[in-house]
Structure 1
Amino acid sequence: MQVKRIVTNLAAADVSKVTQFYAEVLGLEVVMDQGWIVTLAAPTKMAPQISIASEGGSGTAVPELSVEVDDLDEALRRVRAFGADIEYGPTSEPWHVRRFYVRDPLGRLVNILVHE
C-alpha cells in the first residue's frame, strides 16, 4: 500500500473567508467547491508528509500547518495585504529555514517557510 495524498480538513462555519485567505495569501486554486466543502490545491506535485512535534522550534508553539513557499517575502506581503498579523518572525532559523507564523481566519497557527 502507498499513501497517495494527505488532505488537511479545517472545520469552518463559513468557508468563504478561509478559502479567500488560502487563495490570496498562498495562491492556492479552488479545485472542488461543493458549497459545504471547498478544496484548494497547488498546481505542483508534492510528497505527503506528517510532522509530529513537541514544540515548533526556537521555543515556539507547534503550528497546525506548515507551508513551504518559493518566495517568503511575497508570502509576507500577501499576508500583510490580507490584514493578518504576523505572530512570529520572519526569522532565519539555525536549521536553514526562514519562516514566519500567521493565524488564518479560523485562528489556526500557520508556519510559512522557505528553505535557505
Structure 2
Amino acid sequence: MAGVAAPVALAVAVNALARPALAERYGGLRHQHFTTFRSSDGWWEFDAATSAAHPIITGFLGLSDGAIVAAGLLLSGSVLIAITLWGAVAATARRARARRSRAPRDPGVLSP
C-alpha cells in the first residue's frame, strides 16, 4: 500500500517545500482562495518577463495546490489499478499452470 500513498505524500511535500522555495527564487506573488472556513487553495503568479524566461517553472507554480494534490490522487488511483490488474493476471497464470500440471499426460504427445 506504500505505492498508493507515496504519490499523495510526494504531492504534499512538493506543495509544502519545493513550490514555495521555487516561487521565492523566481519572485512569485502568492494568491490564496479560501474554499471553506477550514481550507484554502493557493498558487503563484509571476510578471511577464519571468513567465517568458521560465515558462515551464512558472506554469508549474501557476497550478493550484489542489491541482497538484489531485494529480497525486490520480497517480495513486492508477498505481492501485495497476497493482490490482497485475495481481489478477498473476492469479490467472498460477491457476492455468496448476491446471496444466494436474492434467493427465499422453506419453505419445510432447507437452509444452
Same fold (TM over 0.5): no
TM range (shorter): under 0.3
Q: Relative contact order, CA 8 A, sep 6+: which one is greater? A: 2
Higher strand share: 1
- Point out the structure with max Rg over C-alpha: 2
**Comparing both structures, which one devotes a greater share of its residues to helix?**
2
The TM-score normalised by the length of structure 2 is: 0.27
TM-score between the two structures when normalised by the length of structure 1: 0.26
